[in-house]
Amino acid sequence: MSKMQSVSLTVNGEAVTATVSVRKHLVDFLREDLGLTGSHVGCEHGVCGACTLEVNGAMVRGCLMLAVQADGATVTTVEGLADSGRSDAIRAAFAERNALQCGYCTPGMLASALEYVEAGGTADRDAIRAHLSGNYCRCTGYQSIVEAISDVISGEVDA
Amino acid sequence: MKAPDFDYHRAETLEAALALMAEEDAFALAGGQSLMPMMNLRLTAPEALVDLNAVDGLAGVRIEDQRLTIGAMTRYAALEASGEVAEHAPLVSTALPYIAHPAIRNRGTIGGSCALADPAAEMPALLLALGAEVHLQNVKGARSVAADEFFLGLYETAREDDELVVAIQLPVASKRQRIGFHEITRRHGDYAMAGCAIVATEDLSEVRIAFFAVSDRAVRARAAEAALAGTSGGKAELENAVAALSEIDFAGDMNASTHTKRHLAGVALRRAWAEVMA
Ligand SMILES: Cc1cc2nc3c(=O)[nH]c(=O)nc-3n(C[C@H](O)[C@H](O)[C@H](O)COP(=O)(O)OP(=O)(O)OC[C@H]3O[C@@H](n4cnc5c(N)ncnc54)[C@H](O)[C@@H]3O)c2cc1C
Ligand code: FES
Ligand code: FES
């Protein structure tokens, strides 16, 4: 009985009610049950950051949270960040700087970058790198990602 | 991989959580930042999880009788943002940015780190250096255990299976307390290869030194403390303290041999001590 539970949450501004297996993590729920495939799954043990998304205003690892724990929560995925315009500047800067190649890390990178920018982070490269330390990218070598974030902070992007 | 099957219970009161913990093989679920990876990797397979995230009153920081009480479910991010922690436990504030990554700190809790007792984790060593007490509770009652008696071995603590860590208590730091913290990592946010935390009185009459990521648990270095306490803390005394680290039961891991750990502990101690003296 306690292996399936009903959850009600807000995902990208829309109310969702569903019955979930308690062992299913939040990203699998978003991808498989809601068709929101923007959040990626890499390692499923918290190391790569590809699953990073926003729950109740904080960026967290979607693979380390159970869907059932999101009952009552407000969840925003990379799709929601784009729809609301919150990620416009950072997305424009990523495109401008070529800050993605395969794109696997990108949803998590955008989420972590946005958390840094919205918290008033400075354009200091070491501070940007420290904030992104939990997001792996196997393609870009990070330089272009750091440049893109620094561009947004110094106001060099129009979106 | 995905977590194996389990029963999930969301507790809303401490009493309900304790009652569930009394049932066989129930694990507390705090931030999930260590438990979920261990389950997804199938290193552990609890029969039931007792989710503490909705329990009222388990999170938060308060000051009473010259003690700082931190609820077990207080997240690292909340500690990082707390002015009270910055003022009354500056060692904790100094060390927090080195614990994992922002997204992990948004969920991970002080109680979880304490209950887990990862030998490479910062928090147990901070609690040893600060002379903290761990408050535990089960259905039968409450007790508190000094950090010195709490961390017993590799992922092993004095906590009984049915007990919850409910709070951590620290003495409020005097304005003139001296602190030092240094860890050696491959990349920012990684678990340390060796780390050292120090708390001393202004006149160095009392010195407490703890290490993490060098043994099977966080450890006090009492001979090194004795080599520095009551001295002027100069270069010769510091080197005596480094030599005294042979008291520690060093243990290598996949990143470094026992010999390397011994060396890195000395490096970490010298750097942390430089902060104490700064
Ligand atoms: C990529 C990554 C990097 C990390 N890097 C670091 C690092 O550099 N340093 C570091 O210290 N940690 C690191 N961590 C671990 C992180 O700090 C964890 O949050 C912490 O170790 C456990 O806290 P938690 O609240 O998430 O506990 P959980 O994962 O929920 O629980 C851990 C264990 O403690 C038990 N437990 C939890 N709370 C209680 C309680 N109140 N009473 C009784 N038992 C309880 C659980 O049953 C479980 O066995 C990292 C984690 C990840 C994923
Ligand atoms: S999939 Fe969540 S951190 Fe890698
Ligand atoms: S763009 Fe391929 S992993 Fe980052």
Query: What are the φ/ψ torsions at residue B21 (nearest 5 degrees)?
Result: -65, -25
Same domain, A146 and A94: yes
In a domain, A114, yes or no: yes
Domain end residue (candidates: A77, A112, A134) = A77
In a domain, B72, yes or no: yes
Is B104 a residue whose pLDDT tops 70?
Answer: yes
Domain end residue (candidates: A18, A42, A77) = A77
What's the pLDDT score for residue A43? 96
What is the rounded CA–CA span in Å between residue B147 and residue B130? 9
pLDDT band at A55 (very low <50, low <70, confident <90, very high): very high
Nearest to A112 among B48, B102, B187 (CB): B102
What's the pLDDT score for residue B231? 97
For residue range A63-120, what is the model confidence (pLDDT) as tens digits?
A: 999 999 999 999 999 999 999 999 999 999 999 999 999 999 999 999 999 999 999 9
Is A1 a residue whose pLDDT tops 70?
Answer: no
Nearest to A2 among B8, B33, B53 (CB): B8
For chain B, what percent of residues have pLDDT higher than 70? 100
Candidate from A47, A51, A133 with most ligand 1 atoms within 8 A of CB, to mutate: A47
A83 CA → ligand 1 middle, Å: 34
In a domain, A59, yes or no: yes
Burial class (CB in 10 A: 0-12, 13-18, 19+), A43: middle
B206 against A156, higher pLDDT? B206
Same domain, A141 and A97: yes
In a domain, A49, yes or no: yes
For residue range B27-78, what is the model confidence (pLDDT) as tens digits?
A: 999 999 999 999 999 999 999 999 999 999 999 999 988 999 999 999 999 9
Rg of chain B over Cα atoms, rounded to whole angstroms, equals 19
Name the closest residue on chain A to residue B9, using Cα atoms. A2
- B9–A2: do the CB atoms touch at under 8 Å? yes
Nearest to A58 among B9, B106, B187 (CB): B106
CATH of the domain at B193: 3.30.390.50
Chain A: nearest CA to B86, how far in angstroms? 19
Chain B: nearest CA to A26, how far in angstroms? 12
In a domain, B1, yes or no: no
Is B245 a residue whose pLDDT tops 80?
Answer: yes
What is the rounded CA–CA span in Å between residue B1 and residue B70? 34
Same domain, A61 and A93: no
CATH of the domain at B45: 3.30.43.10
Same domain, A150 and A93: yes
B31 CA → ligand 1 middle, Å: 6
In a domain, B55, yes or no: no
Same domain, A136 and A115: yes
What is the rounded CA–CA span in Å between residue B212 and residue B98? 13
- State the residue range of the domain holding B35: 7-50
Give the single-character DSSP code of A154.
T
What's the pLDDT score for residue A158? 67
Same domain, B34 and B101: no
Name every chain A residue with its beta carbon within 8 A of the beta carbon of B41.
Answer: 45
Residue with tokens 């109310």: A15
Domain end residue (candidates: B170, B187, B202) = B170
Q: How many domains, chain B? A: 3
For residue range B181-204, what is the model confidence (pLDDT) as tens digits?
A: 999 998 888 899 999 999 999 999
Same domain, B66 and B159: yes
B73 CA → ligand 1 middle, Å: 11
pLDDT band at A156 (very low <50, low <70, confident <90, very high): confident
Domain end residue (candidates: B170, B198, B216) = B170
Same domain, A61 and A100: no
The neighbour count for residue A137, using CB atoms within 10 Å, is 22
Same domain, A91 and A72: no
Dihedral in degrees, nearest 10, Cα atoms B51, B55, B60, B63: -120
DSSP letters along chain B, please?
A: --PPP-EEEE-SSHHHHHHHHTSTTEEEESS-TTHHHHHHTTS---SEEEE-TT-TTSS-EEEETTEEEEETT-BHHHHHH-HHHHHH-HHHHHHGGGSS-HHHHTT-BHHHHHHHT-TT-HHHHHHHHHT-EEEEEETTEEEEEEHHHHEEETTEES--TT-EEEEEEEEPPPTT-EEEEEEE-SSTTSPPSEEEEEEE-TTSSSEEEEEESSSSS-EE-HHHHHHHTTS---HHHHHHHHHHGGGS-----SSS-HHHHHHHHHHHHHHHHHHHH-
In a domain, A159, yes or no: no
In a domain, A11, yes or no: yes
Same domain, A56 and A91: no
What's the pLDDT score for residue A82? 97
- State the residue range of the domain holding A33: 4-77
Burial class (CB in 10 A: 0-12, 13-18, 19+), B241: buried
Same domain, A115 and A91: yes
Task: Mention every residue, 6+ apart, whose C-beta is less than 8 A from residue B83.
Answer: none
Domain end residue (candidates: B170, B186, B213) = B170
Whether B104 lines ligand 1, by a CB cut-off of 6 Å, is yes
What's the pLDDT score for residue A159? 61
Is A122 a residue whose pLDDT tops 70?
Answer: yes
In a domain, B75, yes or no: yes
Same domain, B166 and B102: yes
Same domain, A148 and A116: yes
Q: How many domains, chain A? A: 2
In a domain, B25, yes or no: yes
Domain end residue (candidates: A54, A77, A100) = A77
What is the ipTM metric for this complex?
Answer: 0.95
What is the rounded CA–CA span in Å between residue B223 and residue A27? 49
For chain B, what percent of residues have pLDDT higher than 90? 95
Find the helix or strand (DSSP H, E) in which A94 lies.
Answer: helix A88-97
CATH of the domain at B79: 3.30.465.10
A42 Cα nearest atom in ligand 2: 1
DSSP-derived 3-state class of residue A15? strand
Residue nearest to atom 27 of ligand 1 (CA): B112
For residue range A2-24, what is the model confidence (pLDDT) as tens digits?
A: 799 999 999 999 999 999 999 99
- Average pLDDT rounded to a whole number, residues B130-150: 98
Same domain, B157 and B66: yes
Same domain, A8 and A72: yes
A98 CA → ligand 3 middle, Å: 11
Find the helix or strand (DSSP H, E) in which A5 lies.
Answer: strand A4-11
Same domain, B182 and B219: yes
In a domain, B33, yes or no: yes
What's the pLDDT score for residue B255? 85
Side-chain-side CA neighbours of residue A57 (13 Å): 2
- Average pLDDT rounded to a whole number, residues A32-47: 97
In a domain, A94, yes or no: yes
CATH of the domain at A73: 3.10.20.30
In a domain, B2, yes or no: no
What's the pLDDT score for residue B190? 87
Task: Mention every residue, 6+ apart, whose C-beta is less than 8 A from residue B260.
Answer: B193, B252
- A89 with A26: CB under 8 angstroms? no
What's the pLDDT score for residue B254? 87
Candidates B107, B183, B186: best to mutate against A (most CBs of A within 10 A) is B107
CATH of the domain at A143: 1.10.150.120
- A66–B8: do the CB atoms touch at under 8 Å? yes
